[in-house]
Amino acid sequence: LVAGMDVEVVVGMRNAPGLPMPKVSLLRSCGNHELDEAALRMISEAVHLAPLPAELRGRHWQIELPVLFVSGV
């Protein structure tokens, strides 16, 4: 990360009936493989640690999560 330069990765989460937990995927790369992988890893770990609210289980839904990496100046 270059000082003063912020980058954004967009991670998707989708769920459907029958899936044990939401699927996580890379929707938009920032162009840096390491940061893309870090964003995917963060969201994937959160999905495994935090149970879904009952209202969302077994339903179709999809969300986009922007992950912003902010460098120090």
Residue 14 contacts residue 42 (beta carbons within 8 Å): no
pTM here is: 0.86
Q: Can you tell me the distance from the alpha carbon of 73 to that of 17, in angstroms, rounded to the nearest whole number?
A: 45
- The Cβ of residue 68 has, within 10 Å, a number of other Cβ atoms equal to 10
Which pLDDT belongs to residue 71?
A: 85
7-61 confidence digits (pLDDT tens): 999 999 999 999 888 999 999 999 999 999 999 999 999 999 998 888 988 899 9
Confidence band, pLDDT 50/70/90 cuts, at residue 5: confident
